[in-house]
Amino acid sequence: MWLVGIDVAAGTLEVRLHPESVASVLAELLEVRAKRDPATAWADFRAHVEMLGGIVVEPKWLGLLRPHRVICAEGHACAPYPTRVFQGVGICRTCAGKVWDRFYVVVSPSAGAVKFGVTSGDVRSRLHDHRVAGYAEVIRLLELVGADELERATLGALRLAELSPVKGREYFDLSALPVILDVVDHWPGARPL
């Protein structure tokens, strides 16, 4: 465990953290700074993107937690989140080889909720995060090209069934599971992992 003291304009913030949570703390500090001085955050974001060879085409600052339209050095249109750019993730999923090729459905029996989503490549980190949050039961884990299309189709089916998220965009009451699985289990080209 590390003890870190950080000077944040209004004083010193002392935090005890594990090394793996450094990125999370950095994002929180950037959010505090961006709320205090959005003009500087916007300038920092544009400078980071330019340093990576990209061009920001978003006309204004949308906040740290909203994607911003960018053209990467290779000419790909992308929309990175400023927090991810500041954390060193980069600006372009295509260049990074991060195409959405995994789809998962996890359940939290104690919360009576289901969560689905997409990720790239190795799913262990993403599933670990959900397990820590109580979503320990993996119902489906699929490999497919364009997993984000399956995610959009699942959200569309839930809207048609008049089922609303209980949290965020992809967390639903467990009663939504049959609708989710109906879409997922009939999706062409999906291969179980």
- Give domain status of residue 13, yes or no: no
Q: Looking at the structure, tell me whether residues 87 and 120 fall in a common domain.
A: no
Q: Looking at the structure, tell me whether residues 41 and 108 fall in a common domain.
A: no
- Give domain status of residue 66, yes or no: yes
Give the range of the structural domain holding residue 58, as residue numbers without chain letter: 29-96
Share of the chain above pLDDT 70, in %: 80
In this structure, which amino acid lies at residue 94? T
Tokens 């260049």, residue located: 95
Q: Looking at the structure, tell me whether residues 75 and 152 fall in a common domain.
A: no
Q: Looking at the structure, tell me whether residues 86 and 109 fall in a common domain.
A: no
- How distant, in Å, are the alpha carbons of 73, 82, 186 from that of 23? 25, 13, 38
Of 62, 96, 130, which marks where a domain is finished? 96
- Give domain status of residue 24, yes or no: no
The pTM (predicted TM-score) of the whole model is 0.55
- How distant, in Å, are the alpha carbons of 95, 117, 127, 185 from that of 165? 32, 13, 20, 21
pLDDT at 55: 96
Q: Looking at the structure, tell me whether residues 157 and 85 fall in a common domain.
A: no
Q: Looking at the structure, tell me whether residues 113 and 77 fall in a common domain.
A: no
- Residue 75: other Cβ atoms inside 10 A: 10
More confident position, 86 or 111: 111
Confidence band for 85, pLDDT divided at 50, 70 and 90: confident
Tokens 């950037």, residue located: 30
Number of domains in the chain: 2
Q: Is the pLDDT of residue 58 over 80?
A: yes
Confidence band for 86, pLDDT divided at 50, 70 and 90: confident
Hey, is 47 helix, strand or coil?
A: helix
Report pLDDT digits (tens) over 102-145.
Answer: 999 999 999 999 999 998 777 888 899 899 999 999 999 999 88
pLDDT at 159: 96
